[in-house]
Structure 1
């Protein structure tokens, strides 16, 4: 329920800017950031937080109804709080590319496999940063021989220059069952401000292969998710039309003074706060790529059913699919970690000699940061970064090629998209020729 030492606050935004201003126009990966702006977890450890509600996947595997399996899937993935996994799944993750940053992972339990890759694209809009999480995610339910694929929705961090930071997720997520043809379509609603009535709301439908609506699903991805039958939803909507508002798609720059303004004049100021949000995201930023203008991609999944806000009163015949597990006491003193996150860097004496020498739990800078030794953590962080640069130079000089170890580039068997596939060798525990990176 606690870390060895509480989080220490930064010494001020100006000091961070004094570091960043020397690197304008350069790759941020070549600049040593103050360790005080980090958290004691690596990005790969953050990827494992997909597993926080893995017990819902166990329940989904036990269901004979594919609609119930789809509903349980929704919140096993999109919930952001903490509970432990009933089937004790195991997960391996690897940074398979550094420029651009790509992380691949593979998790497995007795009844399912969950795998994918994450390679976020960043856009700076002056007062906010938008994160587009590229990459396919795949869930395989072994008992039913089913496979689901999807891509995560966008995330935006607001008030980078001034004011209170706040986060929202928005956009349409389409989950496809490649065996039965069922689809889950969720709309993560744009909040319209930190106090907006739609902030964190999510709504959607479970559809059959003929696009017939079977269930209406609604809630907040930070709190709870409910479901009801479509007839009850339609009846309630007809009886209380004043309670429903059309969901307007987020528009780009300039609408009602939104945060998506041009990054031109304020981009430098934005940098002074950018790294302060890495405690939540840990995303490596390549400056050149981050400012790259990309055209909006059209949705290839066909028309998505429009959804309606329904939160003032519960819809009749609704039942709760998921409700958040409270965070542990004093979470605010420890990086706002959930109970799950609190244990991600724990080293179990019984298994410490079985993990790979490249395991994140062995990183000395993260360990010292967790223990509150800021000076020691800063020195180790600088040493590791310099070690990486020297290794890269040596490899280039000798015309060597870096290759990922546990994952290989290939094609997703279910949607035909490029993907990073697990090689299946990690659990053999053969680390004899693993490169020493710490």
Structure 2
């Protein structure tokens, strides 16, 4: 039985059963909740030396499973499955956890507000303070003059009184002395009051100015360190560039003198009579591997290959490609040729790239029943120093950076995630495939296509308010509709559900992320899992997104890179697609934005290979034969490659409209009948789209303050519930519900299926009032 008990007012501790593994099941552990952190130990004696695990409740969510069980997760990297001894004990823990979470969130936001106040004081406030101090100083000077004057008069009167001998004259002089003494006393009191006011104001402002001075000093040191680091990196890059240039010149000279003796197979090129082939590198996962206790995949000789799909750390962007190198031979036209993938891309080029008609003179999709807008107001030319805002945010989460709309785009994250389905034709083709591996090739192309629009899109989407929603019904022209809701604020999580018009496929996902600003770049590491289901075959696919990095935050032109490794798994039959997004490097010989991949069946046999770039096109070829070369490389003989996805470039007019695509332009178009919480009804976002940025910034501050006020009210309710030992549920989403994902086993938000029915009825009674 749990021995939970209260310690201090902010502490709760006791025995709880924690799920360990399938062999040992639930094991009794000693849990301590304090200062917003939940830690556990094997026993109480371990509290002095060994902590087994800790979760920060400020970025976690709490889910109750049954009368005794509950789950605590921080978004994917840590999850505690716990069981109390009774329903009453479970409720006590949940109430204590919710209360501690609210306090931790409040403390974080208070610290952020204090830091923003200390580091970015209001100019008018400083001027008013200086004026007040100057006025107080003038009062002191006036009082000093009066005291000197009245003191001299009093001293003179007292001297005259001492010289009087007759009693009759002394009576008159006493009256004069009393009058002058009264004036001196009044002036002295005024002086004392003025001194007190000045001292109090000076002490109050002095403490604040001391913090400001300390903050400015620390910022100066950080900036000096950053500039020094940049200088060292610049020097290192120059050295590498010189070495690379010298090596390139030497290689060019060597190839000219002895091209026939070259041993670099990537640059080999020869003709033969029998066949026409093309050769390139792809990254392969190992065909046989085992998993360690930490979830790391290791091959038979013990070489670490990288995180598995179940325990994927997308921040490991510098890891080498997993598994062996492979080469692919594709048959074309009865001839044979071998060359590198880079050469093939150069030769293939973009000759088959479809031209984009003028967006001003056409409807977005010919099959649409409605005329949709093709442009939005151009982005105003507002100049603002990004570094002046970002310098105080180094190390913070992206969602906690107080960013004005000047660095945003007039779309929310709910709308931005909907853009993943711009190339939904890949899913339609996948639904028609009878071969599951070919279907997986189209799905891989679909996942890659979601990054195509990031090449020039450096604006940050609006962080959705808690309870904000977005619907997108494109059944009439694109064959699908989607719905998304911001279901959690700490940590920020949005849930989305999409379904095709003919119910051939459905997709759902949670999007949450870990993000840090590192000074030179901003890195976004997605943590959520995406699902895709084809009901007719039962094929159920999952994957995680790769890391996105925004470079040149300090100086230079912003640019975006997507990099990392992705595994797409078919949980129905064991098929898997391993993709590698190569990180961009100034000195790499690989094609920029390159993506390579291989599709294997449940036995590990390669079935398809993929190649391309995430900003242009993806090709796939079916593997016919596998051969091992003499240098330890694997050569795949394939059928002719076919294009699985190709990017549609937006028109030139949209370059001035935040580099939006046609779909992005239409996402924020005003539409009647949507929920009052829909992103299209958000006033600051609408003002920004219309070019009223000053008003948008003011409205954004008011909306965020309203959200904080509502959160404080929930915190008060949680405190009252804890004081009365009553049950407190906390915030619950309106269109999604917490449940356990049967595939991952982690808590997840599941769509209730009620939104579109409520829209048809016009019933928005459950929608919260989140806008002004």
| Same fold at TM > 0.5 | yes
What's the TM-score once normalised by structure 1's chain length? 0.75
Is the Cα contact below 8 Å between 1:192 and 1:198 reproduced in 2?
no
Deviations 1:96-117 (A, max 9, x none): 1112211111111121110010
Task: Say whether 1:391 aligns with 2:710.
Answer: yes
Query: Measured at CA, do residues 28 and 180 of structure 1 come closer, stay the same or move farther in structure 2, by a change above 3 Å?
Result: closer
Distance 2:396 2:515 in 1: 16
Q: 1:74 is matched with which residue?
A: 444
Deviations 1:103-143 (A, max 9, x none): 11111112111001011112444322222110111000112
Alignment of 1:287-302 (within 5 A): none
TM superposition shift of 1:10? 3.6
Alignment of 1:291-370 (within 5 A): 317-348=640-671, 352-353=672-673, 355-370=674-689
Out of 739, 750, 754, the position equivalent to 1:410 is: 739
TM superposition shift of 1:238? 6.7
Deviations 1:21-67 (A, max 9, x none): 67789887677532222111011111111111112211211111112
Tell me how many residue pairs correspond in the alignment: 360
Out of 467, 473, 497, the position equivalent to 1:106 is: 497
Extract unaligned runs of 5+ from structure 1: 247-305
Alignment of 1:158-177 (within 5 A): 158-177=551-570
Extract unaligned runs of 5+ from structure 2: 1-358, 360-373, 454-473, 719-727
TM superposition shift of 1:335? 0.5
Is the Cα contact below 8 Å between 1:128 and 1:158 reproduced in 2?
yes
Query: Measured at CA, do residues 323 and 23 of structure 1 come closer, stay the same or move farther in structure 2, by a change above 3 Å?
Result: closer
Q: 1:299 is matched with which residue?
A: none
Distance 1:39 1:163 in 2: 20
State the 4+ residue runs in structure 1 displaced beyond 4 angstroms.
16-32, 84-87
Deviations 1:268-300 (A, max 9, x none): xxxxxxxxxxxxxxxxxxxxxxxxxxxxxxxxx
Alignment of 1:22-171 (within 5 A): 32-80=402-450, 81=452, 87-109=478-500, 110-171=503-564
Q: 1:210 is matched with which residue?
A: 603
Q: 2:770 is matched with which residue?
A: 437
Query: Measured at CA, do residues 212 and 403 of structure 1 come closer, stay the same or move farther in structure 2, by a change above 3 Å?
Result: same
User: Quick one: higher RCO (CA 8 Å, sep 6+), 1 or 2?
Assistant: 1
Query: Measured at CA, do residues 158 and 40 of structure 1 come closer, stay the same or move farther in structure 2, by a change above 3 Å?
Result: same
TM superposition shift of 1:74? 1.2
Q: 1:11 is matched with which residue?
A: 383
Query: Measured at CA, do residues 392 and 189 of structure 1 come closer, stay the same or move farther in structure 2, by a change above 3 Å?
Result: same
Higher helix share: 2
Distance 2:615 2:496 in 1: 24
Out of 680, 684, 691, the position equivalent to 1:372 is: 691
Query: Measured at CA, do residues 196 and 12 of structure 1 come closer, stay the same or move farther in structure 2, by a change above 3 Å?
Result: farther
TM superposition shift of 1:4? 3.2
RMSD: 3.0
Q: 2:751 is matched with which residue?
A: 422
What's the TM-score once normalised by structure 2's chain length? 0.44
Query: Measured at CA, do residues 330 and 408 of structure 1 come closer, stay the same or move farther in structure 2, by a change above 3 Å?
Result: same
Query: Measured at CA, do residues 30 and 199 of structure 1 come closer, stay the same or move farther in structure 2, by a change above 3 Å?
Result: closer
Distance 1:188 1:307 in 2: 20
Query: Measured at CA, do residues 149 and 21 of structure 1 come closer, stay the same or move farther in structure 2, by a change above 3 Å?
Result: closer
Query: Measured at CA, do residues 126 and 316 of structure 1 come closer, stay the same or move farther in structure 2, by a change above 3 Å?
Result: farther
Distance 2:621 2:568 in 1: 19
Higher gyration radius (CA): 2
Helix, strand or coil for the counterpart of 1:343? helix
Distance 1:405 1:367 in 2: 24
Helix, strand or coil for the counterpart of 2:701? helix
TM superposition shift of 1:395? 2.3
Deviations 1:402-436 (A, max 9, x none): 22111222222233333221122212213113111
Distance 1:101 1:55 in 2: 30
